[in-house]
C-alpha cells in the first residue's frame, strides 16, 4: 500500500479521478477473488498474491478517494465530506473484526468468505462510479 500511494498523483492526473478509481476497484476485486478462492488452490500463494494486490488497491484508494471528494464536493461541505472516507475505513475494520469472530466467519470453513467479502465494497463503488 505504501509503495502504490506514491503514484496516486500521477495516476489521478493521467487517468482522471473517476477512471483511476475504476481501475483501482478492479485491482481490489481481483485481489479479493484470489483470497476468497484460496481454499480451492495453493492457499498460501493465493492469499499472499491477493493480499499484495489488495495492498496496492488500499494505497491508491487512500489517496484517490479523498482527492476526488475534495474536488467534487461543495466548498461548504468539503471538510465534513472529506472525513467520511476515513470513517468508512474505520467502520469497515470494525465490521471485519466482528465478522472474524469464530462463531461467525472466523472458522476453518468460512475464512475464505471473510477474506473475499471486502471485494463487495469495491464492486459497489465500481458500479456507482459508472452512473
At 39 the pLDDT is: 86
CA 90/CA 47 separation, integer angstroms: 23
pLDDT at 1 over 80: no
pLDDT at 54 over 80: yes
CA 21/CA 125 separation, integer angstroms: 9
Residues 96-127 as b/e (b if ≥16 CB within 10 A, e otherwise) read: eeeeeeeeebeeeeebbebbbbbbebbeebbe
| Grid cell 475505513 in the structure block, residue | 89
Helices (H), 37-110: 43-72, 78-99
pLDDT (tens digit per residue) in 70-97: 999 999 999 899 899 999 999 999 999 9
**8 Å CB contact between 55 and 1:** yes
At 40 the pLDDT is: 85
At 3 the pLDDT is: 86
Q: Which helix (H) or strand (E) holds 36?
A: helix 17-36
Domain span at residue 91 reads 2-130
- CATH number of the domain within which 65 lies: 1.20.1250.20
At 52 the pLDDT is: 95
At 42 the pLDDT is: 80
Q: Please tell me the total count of domains within the chain.
A: 1
pLDDT at 50 over 80: yes
At 99 the pLDDT is: 96
At 101 the pLDDT is: 96
> Per-residue pLDDT averaged across 48-71, rounded?
94
pLDDT (tens digit per residue) in 4-48: 989 999 999 999 999 999 999 999 999 999 999 988 878 889 999
Amino acid at each position: 500500500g505504501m509503495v502504490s500511494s506514491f503514484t496516486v498523483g500521477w495516476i489521478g492526473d493521467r487517468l482522471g479521478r473517476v477512471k483511476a478509481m475504476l481501475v483501482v476497484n478492479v485491482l481490489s476485486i481481483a485481489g479479493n477473488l484470489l483470497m476468497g478462492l484460496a481454499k480451492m488452490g495453493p492457499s498460501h500463494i493465493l492469499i499472499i498474491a491477493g493480499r499484495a494486490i489488495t495492498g496496492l488497491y488500499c494505497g491508491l484508494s487512500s489517496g484517490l478517494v479523498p482527492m476526488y471528494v475534495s474536488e467534487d464536493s461543495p466548498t461548504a461541505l468539503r471538510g465534513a465530506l472529506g472525513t467520511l472516507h476515513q470513517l468508512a475505513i474505520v467502520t469497515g475494520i470494525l465490521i471485519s473484526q466482528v465478522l472474524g469472530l469464530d462463531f461467525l466467519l472466523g472458522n476453518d470453513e468460512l475464512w475464505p468468505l471473510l477474506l473475499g467479502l471486502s471485494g463487495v465494497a469495491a464492486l459497489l463503488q465500481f458500479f456507482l462510479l459508472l452512473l
